[in-house]
Amino acid sequence: MACSDCEGKAVMPLKEAPDDQDFIAGITEGLEDFLEGRCRRFKDAEELEAYLLTL
């Protein structure tokens, strides 16, 4: 069932694309953290879920 009133409307508002420099800087920082051992390893999906829920 289609809504003729909804044609051409975005379902979700469009967001501006992130600045490429910010994106590259974030990846670079993440890789540096990983190389220096500042990363967290999870045993399974449940442990990851529990950690994310505490944030």
Q: Tell me the whole-structure pTM to 2 decimals.
A: 0.45
Of the two residues 26 and 3, the one the predictor is more confident about is: 26
With 70 as the cut, is the pLDDT of residue 6 above it?
no
Q: Can you tell me the distance from the alpha carbon of 24 to that of 30, in angstroms, rounded to the nearest whole number?
A: 10
Query: Predicted confidence band at 15 (pLDDT cuts at 50, 70, 90)?
Result: confident
Within 10 angstroms of residue 48's Cβ, the number of other Cβ atoms is 13
What percent of the chain stands above pLDDT 70? 71
| Opening angle at CA 36, ends 55 and 28, nearest 5 | 75
Structure tokens at 54: 């505490």
Measured between alpha carbons, how far is 42 from 48 in angstroms, rounded to an integer? 6
Q: What is the model's pLDDT at position 28?
A: 93
